[in-house]
Amino acid sequence: MFTGYRIHHSTVLGPTKGGIRYHPDVTLNEVRALAMWMTWKCSLVGLPYGGAKGGVTADPKQLSASELEHLTRRYATEISLMMSPEGDIPAPDVGTTPQIMAWIMDTYSMHRGYSTPSVVTGKPVEIGGSYGRVEATGRGVMLAAREAATLLGLSLNGASVVIQGFGNVGSVSGCLLHDLGCRVIAVSDSRGGIFNPKGLDPREALNHKGRTGSVVAFPGADRVSNEELLELPCDILIPSALEGAITGENAPRVKTHLIVEGANGPLTPDADKVLYDRQIPVIPDILANAGGVIVSYFEWVQGLQQFFWSEEEVNAHLERILMPAFHQVWQMADERKVPLRLGALIRAISRVANAIHIRGIYP
């Protein structure tokens, strides 16, 4: 017996959009908060979506492939009344994969009596997924880090990068920043972290994780805990694990010039205040990791039209949407003399509020 949730937060800007996570710590309040986050994230980058989120309190690592499929299809059946290409479009999140999205799409299609690929995004390319979707969130983190570094006068050539959470988001952003000349000096996963001040090859670390299940014991690197990793001196820190990694307690010991939030909510409000007082800029989650939902939007559009784009087109359109949003947030924060997170929320909430005002209240 498992408990699952699907929350719709806002539909004022369009259909609801949001991932589904499978994790033992999923709770109703967490899913509610994440649904609200999605509303602001979609609004901030100008997508025609409201926010939603789903979750099942389960550890997918403890389930066989058959059990995972049965769990997924039953969950999809339970939320199928809330889903539709025009109403609510789920996507992957922590603990879910393109294969899980394929099972959800297939279950929904069987109920409808015809194939409905645009009911979910993050699917395998073979059944209507988009090129570039798997890498999209990490690519967005890289773009945000690159743009912030430029504005701060921080050269990426040789810049040291620390990444907590070397999953899909952390590994992709690490590899892309490495390609720009950065020195990835530490990465971690749920089992622990590795550190080499001279730099690590993130692709080799990823291959090692694929072989062993963890980055721990990667040759030529020292072991560090997730807690120690967050306090390593670096130019760019990318927390890409779960919520609340940096708190008011450990924020005074963070030694970086820039934080780019790969995960949702990796900083607590207390940490935000400490870091703002220390003049360490934080690129907020609803901006930094919006690449995933932007390319999910592209996948949805491609599915509705049955007209698909190349990976180069997808990546170009991602940058075209994310960069203006980034500079609008930076400008808002600068004009109002507020943290970047507050600048992002001012823009996002204002857009939703304005849409409500224009649409009116009915009945």
> Is 313 among the domain residues?
no
The active-site residue, picked from 53, 255, 273, 337, is: 53
> Is 349 among the domain residues?
no
Tokens of 126: 């073979």
CATH of the domain at 267: 3.40.50.720
Strand partners, 109: none
> Is 194 among the domain residues?
yes
Exposure pattern of 101-134 as b/e (b: 16+ CB <10 Å)?
A: bbbbbbbbeeeeeeebbbbbbbbeeeebbbbbbb
Please list the rounded mean pLDDT of every run of 10 residues in the chain (363 residues). 97 97 96 95 97 97 96 98 97 94 98 97 96 95 97 96 94 97 95 95 95 93 94 97 91 97 94 96 96 97 96 97 97 96 97 97 89
3-state DSSP call for residue 219?
coil
Q: Helix 340-359 and helix 28-44: axis angle, to 10°?
A: 80
3-state DSSP call for residue 85?
coil
Exposure pattern of 22-60 as b/e (b: 16+ CB <10 Å)?
A: bbeebeeebbebbbbbbbbbbbbbbbebbbbbbbbbbeb
Please tell me whether residues 146 and 281 are part of one structural domain: yes
Domain boundary among 253, 288, 323: 288
Please tell me whether residues 83 and 178 are part of one structural domain: no
Please tell me whether residues 114 and 159 are part of one structural domain: no
> Is 363 among the domain residues?
no
Domain boundary among 72, 98, 129: 129
Number of domains the chain contains: 2
pTM for the model stands at: 0.94
**Residue 197 DSSP label:** T
Please tell me whether residues 194 and 144 are part of one structural domain: yes
> Is 55 among the domain residues?
yes
Task: Determine whether 53 is an active site residue.
Answer: yes
> Is 8 among the domain residues?
yes
Domain limits for position 202: 138-288
Please tell me whether residues 65 and 205 are part of one structural domain: no
CATH of the domain at 15: 3.40.50.10860
CA gap 296, 119 in Å, rounded: 11
Whose CA is closest to 167, among 238, 217, 119, 109?
A: 238
Structural contact between residues 316 and 132, judged by C-beta atoms closer than 8 angstroms: no
Domain boundary among 96, 129, 162: 129
> Is 323 among the domain residues?
no
